[in-house]
Amino acid sequence: MTTGVLVHFKKKIIHLNSGNITIRQMQPGDIRRVLNIEQKNFLIPWSTRAFSFELKKNPHSLTLVAESDGKLIGYSVAYILVDEMHLVNLSVDKDFHRQKIGQLLLVTNIDYAKQRECQSITLEVRKSNWAAIGLYQKFGFSQTGLRRRYYEPNGEDALIMYKAIRSESSH
Q: pLDDT tens digits, residue range 98-136?
A: 889 999 999 999 999 999 999 999 999 999 999 999 999
Marked catalytic residue, from 38, 54, 67, 124: 124
CATH code assigned at 99: 3.40.630.30
120 within domain boundaries? yes
7 within domain boundaries? no
The count of structural domains within the chain is 1
How far apart CA 133 and CA 159 sit, in angstroms, is 9
Which residues 6+ apart lie within 8 Å of 58 measured at CB?
A: 2, 79
3 within domain boundaries? no
Q: Quick one: which of 57, 139, 154, 64 has its CA closest to 103? A: 139
8 within domain boundaries? no
2 within domain boundaries? no
6 within domain boundaries? no
Q: Strand 13-16: give its sheet, edge to edge.
A: 13-16, 19-25, 61-68, 71-81, 84-92, 120-126, 156-164, 142-151
- According to the model, what pLDDT value does residue 19 have? 57
Q: Compute the average pLDDT of residues 150-162.
A: 92
- According to the model, what pLDDT value does residue 69 have? 87
Give catalytic status of residue 124 as yes or no: yes
What pTM was computed for the model? Answer: 0.85
Q: Compute the average pLDDT of residues 138-156.
A: 93
Give residue 92's domain range.
Answer: 13-170
Q: Are strands 84-92 and 71-81 parallel, antiparallel or unpaired?
A: antiparallel
Marked catalytic residue, from 75, 112, 136, 151: 136
Q: Please give the radius of gyration of the chain, using alpha carbons only, rounded to the nearest integer.
A: 15
CB 160 within 8 A of CB 151: no
123 within domain boundaries? yes
Give catalytic status of residue 136 as yes or no: yes
153 vs 86, more confident: 86
Omega within 30 of 0 (cis) for the link into 153: yes
Which tens digits make up the pLDDT trace of 17-69? 345 888 999 999 999 999 999 999 988 899 999 999 999 999 999 999 999 98
Is the pLDDT at 74 greater than 80? The verdict is yes
- According to the model, what pLDDT value does residue 9 have? 44
Please give the C-alpha separations between residue 118 and each of 20, 121, 122, 141, 165, in angstroms, as whole numbers. Answer: 29, 8, 11, 15, 7
152 within domain boundaries? yes
- According to the model, what pLDDT value does residue 137 have? 97
Give residue 169's pLDDT band: very low, low, confident or very high (50, 70, 90).
very low
